[in-house]
Chains A and B, each alone.
Chain A
Amino acid sequence: MMMKTLVIRIMATCALVAMMAFAGAPMATAQQINPTAESVTEDSLFQQLQDGEAVSGRVSIPDDNASGLIKPGNKSWAATSNGTVRILTILAIVGAVGVLLAFYLIRGRIRVEGGMSGIRILRFSAFERFSHWLMSGSFIVLALTGLNLVLGRIIILPWLGEGAFSTLTTWGKVSHNYVGWAFMLGLIMSFLVWVAHNIPDKVDVQWLSQGGGLLKNGVHPPAKKFNAGQKIIFWSVTLGGAALSFTGVMMLFPGLGGGEADWQLYQLIHGIVAAGLSFVIIAHIYIGSVGMEGAFDAMGTGEVDLNWAKEHHSLWVDEVQRDPKNKDLLAKSTQPAE
């Protein structure tokens, strides 16, 4: 039995060798002519190179990441990061401030037309305010430290000097990396507590068609707890914040984020979304503070004046007054405002 398999194996091997000899003969003679003719050249490799690819090979040092030789695409990331992202950031900041300044000069501060009633109703609970300030406080830190990375070299470095600017930016980087987690927590809490109030509906169409009453005195389109403008902010923050969180975490843990090309993409998305969100948030800060009388109370004490609420969130006030828990409020509000 064993003898038989051995014979078969020997025969098979002989057949294989014979086949290889025939097949290999013409190839061997062709190669003898010029061993350098088939040499790889940089030119030919560059011609084959697709966008974002690297000319790479094998390295003997125990680090596979070192095997890339030339990656011309990295220069286009540098150009985009330095050009597009920087320009969009400047446009977002200067644009937001410019638009708001023009708005303030033309429209002025939006007053409560009926005057303050003195009756205050609860608009945001302590938990809602905590979520908001956790998210917004951390956003301010993240926005300023992030902005420093994009524009600090142009604006702050010249007057702070290299050493002090480096120290500032190092601390900025550390806070950015850690405060991001507070932002993500605040983002999740705010989303959960407010998402039910931010589903777009028919009321929003009417609100938007009247420009939210922002442009003219005396125009107050009806709105529920959140008007269409606030819903736009909510969804910008939710989606933009999610994009920032995802790309940010990927950059914090480069091992999770794949390779160089992925990190580059995350950095670009992070920078562009941050610029866009900063635009929205600057407008939000304006209208929630100096831009509108009575608005800050909602997030300050949590209680707003009834007349403010009636003008800006009429449907929400109706809901609150219908609630049997607010019987006292209903009684008081039937009295004319002084």
Chain B
Amino acid sequence: MARMKFLCDADRCIECNACVTACKNEHEVPWGINRRRVVTINDGLPGERSVSMACMHCTDAPCASVCPVDCFYTTDDGVVLHSKDTCIGCGYCFYACPFGAPQYPKVGNFGTRGKMDKCTYCAGGPEEDMTEAEYMKYGSNRLAEGKLPLCAEMCSTKALLAGDGDIIAEIYKERVVTRGYGSGAWGWRTAYGDTVSV
């Protein structure tokens, strides 16, 4: 089985935000929730870089470890998913996530955040694959259709890579060697314990 990962090549990202838009549209994500976002570092300075970030589907995901109701599970592909039926909206996963991935439909007092929502790696949820029930809660399940996440698939500069971790790491390494520079595999060290060394 493949171990699915995301890798954003910041030296290619042009901050067009198409991944953000595509994600919102593909999954009909409600207003106020962004499963993916583009962060620009050193904005306006020489050497600024933009990084597209969503849930990194960590190894030993901290969100899963702190969840009081154990609503997270990792698929055979290494994708971290959760059950919205079980989620109680406590917010602990947001405290634990190094990438700010968990999103809540409401910013309410008295713990009324609503059910957590996050990037599913376009792999739906615990419901049966490609059903209406799954779509309503988690969005489309492209992985079940044999497709990769839409954000990466439609990235115009191929900055955002999705797929088996070893393969996308190889692609990134090749690019860095060819062009002679690379700002790093953003988030990999934090999510998977090691980075792509070139």
The chain A residues found within 8 Å of chain B, CB to CB, are 31, 35-43, 45-46, 55-61, 63, 65-75, 77-79, 81-82, 148-150, 152-153, 157, 162-163, 165-166, 169-170, 173-174, 177-178, 251-255, 260, 263-264, 267
Contact = CB atoms under 8 A, between A and B. Distances in A.
Please list the 10 inter-chain residue pairs (A to B) with the smallest Cβ-Cβ separation, ordered nearest first: A42-B184, A38-B47, A78-B62, A78-B96, A57-B41, A39-B47, A166-B86, A58-B43, A69-B39, A57-B39
Contact of B88 (A43, A173, A252, A263): A173
A79 B61 CA distance: 11
Contacts of B70: 153, 157, 162
A58 B68 CA distance: 32
A70 B183 contact: no
Contacts of A251: 111
- Dominant secondary structure of chain B at its interface with chain A: loop
Nearest to B90: A173
A39 B88 contact: no
A77 B96 contact: yes
Given A70-B190, A173-B90, A252-B109, A40 B85 contact: no
B137 interface: no
Contacts of B20: 61
Contacts of A166: 69, 71, 85-88
A71 B41 contact: no
A267 B189 contact: no
B interface, how many residues as a size bin?
A: 35 or more
A75 B90 contact: no
A317 to B, nearest CB: 47
Contacts of B65: 78, 82
Contacts of B96: 74-75, 77-78, 81
A76 B77 CA distance: 26
B35 to A, nearest CB: 11
A157 B69 contact: yes
B88 A59 contact: no
Interface string B41-72: 11100111111010000000011011111110
Contacts, number: 165
Contacts of A254: 91, 107, 109
A40 B10 CA distance: 10
B15 to A, nearest CB: 8
A239 B151 CA distance: 51
A67 B43 CA distance: 12
A70 B69 contact: no
Contacts of B38: 59-60
Nearest to B34: A61
A162 B186 CA distance: 35
Interface centre among B37, B85, B187 (most CB of A within 10 A): B37
A72 B183 contact: no
Given A58-B43, A61-B34, A163-B85, A40 B109 contact: no
B99 interface: yes
A77 B95 contact: yes
A45 B41 contact: yes
A114 B89 CA distance: 57
B195 interface: yes
30 contacts: A40-B42, A42-B184, A43-B195, A57-B50, A57-B51, A59-B37, A60-B17, A60-B38, A61-B20, A63-B32, A66-B39, A70-B53, A70-B186, A71-B100, A72-B98, A74-B96, A75-B96, A78-B95, A78-B96, A81-B96, A148-B68, A149-B90, A153-B67, A153-B68, A166-B69, A166-B85, A166-B87, A170-B88, A174-B111, A177-B110
B46 A38 contact: yes
A82 B66 contact: yes
A267 B96 CA distance: 12
B45 to A, nearest CB: 8
Contact of A66 (B34, B41, B185, B195): B34
B83 interface: yes
A162 B39 contact: no
Given A74-B62, A163-B86, A39 B183 contact: yes
A40 B88 contact: no
B181 A69 contact: no
A253 to B, nearest CB: 5
B148 interface: no
Nearest to A249: B109
A264 B99 CA distance: 15
A24 B45 CA distance: 16
Contact of B39 (A42, A59, A77): A59
